[in-house]
Structure 1
Amino acid sequence: MAETSASSPLWAGRFEQPMDAAAWALNASLSVDRRLALVDVRVNQVWAEALEEAGVLSAAERAALVAGLETLRQEFQSGNFVFQPTDEDIHTAVERRLRELVGPLGGKIATGRSRNDLVATDLRLWLMEQLGALEGALLEVQKALLDQAEASGDLYLPGYTHLQRAQPVLLAHWWLAYFWPLERDRQRLGDLYPRIAVMPMGAAALAGSGFPIDREHLARRLGFLAVASNSLDAVADRDFAAEFLFVAAMLGIHLSQLAEMVILFCSQEFGFLEIPDAFATGSSLMPQKKNPDLFELTRAKAGTLLGHLTALLAVLKGLPLAYNKDLQEDKAQVFGAMDTLLSVLPVLAAAIRALRVRAERMQGAVSAELMATDLADYLVEQGLPFREAHAVVGQVVRLALARGQSLDALDQEALLAIHPLLDERALAILQPRHSLARRNLSGGSGPLAVRTQLHAARAALLQRVLPDSSENVREERTSRS
């Protein structure tokens, strides 16, 4: 006979036999959702006040419940709360301990609600609060990129397409090319917030509470921006979680792309950047090695974040209305993604700040061939159609390759033999500074354009995208286990 659990869950009245122990272990979620403890206590306190306003509780009953819940809050904060084997989830644990503190009155806290609307409310509140910490960590990476860009001065390097040297760009422009994708990610956090801040509480199990709860007042007290319009949708909706996981995955991809280029640029083959010892590792076998492990781990975490998104989307696919236990899997994905980002971002910000630029190696990689487009543009300015100019410069490149020479080393006679417009003025085009100076249009890689871009990036950092209530994650409202 299978071993059975000695638990007495909140729903045990319907059942004659206790739950199988292995089934109980699979069904329980306390190991994951216990970090919602302080949020759950807070929601319960406000719910007690709503029940009083609805005429369900007397003022004395409400005061006793709120006081008991305050004791719970202190126990969670101090680490003195003792979980029991009968605690199926954090909501069960809170209600069980409340009954221990205030007696049978504690059972009244569950009036007019369900764990279905409670868990959805808790998760939304937790995420609303944690987004502030995430934005702060993301801002530090952006600041590190911007600091590097501002310190780059007029240094330049090859820009790449297909991982082949293409045209010269300012190093500041290169750093900022990673700043703006992160700014889009930060803006997505702000766009997401109003869709998270919709309160499910009052939807009960699926049909709505049977008591006259003032949901709008309840939402304001908890810090929500709106209430869910449909009770069925309220308990089933996990769009906000999936959308957060998309933002997290997109952010992870951008961090991975940045990490990949740093890894390449720190290799001996490139040698453009150097990682200080504090952010590198060595080899247990090869004494000479200096490895970019932290950037490699950043690159790998993108896969972890994509996995969290894919996992939740797979759970949500095909679910019938309204609540299903499948939705218990949402928290592991949301918590995992948040933990991953909050562990990676601070280290990455410090590592980016510490990177050393090897200017001579970087600028030395910009050869005359990278100004081939500028030579074609010069011929266009002399009246040639661009396609003809392109073909002429292609012949020049082919000649240089055949001779094993750089473009600017070709003799004037050979150039004129290709086209009469390739006079001495054409050779003067083949200079990195000249190429950069031609690209001062808005968003371009020229010095003036980059200076404007630096100002725009600095201004962007001053604009926080989340409401004040989310910027400062209060310690007493956060529980990490």
Structure 2
Amino acid sequence: MWKGRFAKETAELVQQIGESVSYDWRLYQHDIAGSIAHARAQYKAGLLTEEEFSQIESGLREIEADINAGNFEFRTSLEDIHMNIEAELTRRIGPAGAKLHTARSRNDQVATDTRLYCRAEMEVLAAGIRDLQRALLDRAEKYAATVVPAYTHLQRGQPVTVGHHFLAYVEMLERDLGRLTDARTRVNVSPLGSGALAGSTINLDRHGIAKELGFDRVSTNSMDAVADRDYIAELIFVIGLCGVHLSRLSEDLILWTSAEFGFAALSDAHTTGSSLMPQKKNPDVCELTRGKTGRLLGNLVAILTAIKGLPLTYNRDLQEDKEPLFDSIDTLKLTLAVNAEMIAAMEIREERCRAAASDPMLLATDLADWLVRQGVPFRHAHELVGKAVAASVATGTPLDQLDLATIDPAFTSDATSVFSLETALAARTNPGAPSIENVRSEIARWNTGLSSN
């Protein structure tokens, strides 16, 4: 493609380090779509005859069909997907194929291809997030009233329900989906027509090309258009943060399925055994999800590091954007799918949850609130309950069986009325609080919202 300027063939090692077709081949559908739109603009501008445009479009469709069927040979000597397709097109249809690159550079071509690719994959990721939300919502609905301890510092804190717990992850995933949707507005911008960095003296209809390819608008600065990889970094960030949320869910389930907690049981189909210890049932999906999150965050660091020191405009360093992008998308798609399947098959061991939630210490804050309602300032109430807890621990007497009046006269005989999980949960009616009524209302709201998506 640059033989006019160079007298020697590119060295074999340079070809090895410079080729990208071994992984950017997956852009082929988007490259072909962009090329057809570009050729159509050339035809409308009088640069191609109707016959030449027809040859180009038919030739590109045939190449696409061959790639789909696995009958296309990619050549690393041609570096990338763009030149592989263009060279094969010219071989098949002759001189018309050599006209395709008029008023276009690989710089704006690859930017167009990756934007189209990101846009398409974002739709798949969004669907995967919705599927996982539905699986979590199904479990939340089944166990809406199952009381379980909630934790801070991995110490028992206050009672909630399993439904409330799972709805927390539905909320996290909704934010991920919102970020994905928002990022799409910055992805869906057409750089085609920006050329290598300064456009072209042959002016094609950029708006027409953008419309054909489904872009919302065209880029407004040719230098930024070919140098910009913010949209890739942003997408990888959104993917990474979604991975962090999945990792937190995984950690909860790893704890919940342990013998020490025993709150949940995963299906045999989503766990593995041990090659040595026959009793083991390991939550490998959760552990792999947790582990792959590090990979997603590494990809984010990789892309940010690749672009942080680049002068305008295009630099070959930008070739390093694709492998982190492809890997992050592939990893999250698989992780979302397997987690949705695993959650849908998971069962909660309600008796273990009830046993853990029966710990009266979970209602220590409710006891302090009871004192407040009797007119005791909260800080003093907190101190008095703290003394009661200390006495409970020291004597081995459950908090709800302690003679609280010996701690302070503020504890009247009806103070122990707070030691009821049903009463405690029913009192938590503020928006966002875990009363069973609130939880069921939220489940109904989410069911309505997700059924329309």
| TM class by smaller structure | over 0.9
Q: Deviations over 1:115-161 (max 9, x none)?
A: 00000000000111111111111111110100000001311000100
Q: In the alignment, which residue of structure 2 is the partner of 1:467?
A: none
Q: Would you say 1:418 and 2:407 are equivalent positions?
A: yes
Aligned to 1:36: 27
Which of 380, 389, 392 is the equivalent residue of 1:388?
Answer: 380
- Cα separation, 2, equivalents of 1:88 and 1:387: 70
Question: 1:445 maps to what in 2?
Answer: 434
Asked whether 1:429 is paired with 2:418, we answer yes
CA distance in 2, matches of 1:212, 1:196: 24
CA distance in 2: counterparts of 1:78 and 1:95, whole angstroms = 19
Instruction: Look up the match of 2:267.
Output: 276
Match for 2:247 among 256, 261, 264? 256
When structure 1 is superposed on structure 2, of 454-463 and 59-68 the one drifting more is 454-463
The whole-number CA distance in structure 1 between the counterparts of 2:145 and 2:452 is: 28
- Choose which of 116, 137, 145 in structure 1 pairs with 2:107: 116
* Deviations 1:316-339 (CA, angstroms, capped at 9, x unpaired): 101100100000011111101010
Counterpart of 1:158 (choices 149, 152, 159) is 149
Instruction: Tell me the CA shift for residue 460 of structure 1.
Output: 3.5
Count of matched residue positions in the alignment of Structure 1 and Structure 2 = 452
Partners of 1:322 and 1:419 lie apart in 2 by 74
1:273–1:357 CA contact under 8 A, matched in 2: yes
Per-residue deviation, residues 335-364 of structure 1 (Å, max 9, x unmatched): 010100111111110101111111111111
Deviation of 1:221 (Å) = 0.3
The answer for the alignment partner of 2:204 in structure 1 is: 213
1:310 aligns with 2:305: no
- Matches of 2:147 and 2:6 in 1, distance apart? 74
**SS, match of residue 439 in structure 1:** coil
Within 5 Å, give how 1:190-339 maps onto structure 2.
190-339=181-330
Q: Distance in 2 between matches of 1:282 and 1:417?
A: 53
Name the counterpart of 2:446.
Answer: 457
Aligned amino acid, residue 346 of structure 2: L
2:174 is matched by which residue type in structure 1?
Answer: E
Native 8 Å contact 1:38 1:76 kept in 2: no
Q: Secondary structure at the match of 1:45?
A: helix
Cα displacement (A) at 1:95: 0.6
**Does structure 1 retain, via aligned residues, the 8 Å contact 2:19–2:77?**
no
Deviation at 1:421, TM superposition (A): 2.7
Moved more, 81-90 or 340-349: 81-90
Alpha-carbon distance in structure 1 between the residues aligned to 2:374 and 2:152: 28
Report deviation, 1:278.
1.0
- Tell me the percent identity: 45
Is 1:20 aligned to residue 4 of structure 2? no
Please report the TM-score for the alignment, with normalisation by the length of structure 2: 0.98
Question: C-alpha offsets along residues 221-249 of structure 1, whole Å, 9 cap, x if unaligned?
Answer: 00100100000000000000000000000
Larger RCO, structure (CA 8 Å, separation 6 or more)? 1
Q: Deviations over 1:370-425 (max 9, x none)?
A: 101111111111111111111111111111111111111113xxx21222231221
1:126 paired with 2:117, answer: yes
Look up the match of 1:403. Answer: 395
The one-letter code matched in structure 1 to 2:48 is L
TM-score if structure 1 supplies the norm length? 0.92
- Shift of residue 59, structure 1, vs aligned partner: 1.5
Distance 1:86 1:319 in 2: 26
The alignment status of 1:342 with 2:337, answered yes or no, reads: no
Aligned to 2:171: 180
User: Structure 1 stretches of 5 or more lacking a match?
Assistant: 1-9, 465-481
Q: For the residues of structure 2 that align with 1:295 and 1:81, how far apart are their CA atoms?
A: 39
Tell me the CA shift for residue 463 of structure 1.
5.5
RMSD, aligned α-carbons:
1.1
- CA separation in 1, counterparts of 2:306 and 2:409? 68
Q: Does residue 68 of structure 2 align to residue 77 of structure 1?
A: yes
Q: Secondary structure at the match of 1:210?
A: coil
Could you list the runs of 4 or more consecutive aligned residues of structure 1 that deviate by over 6 angstroms after TM superposition? none
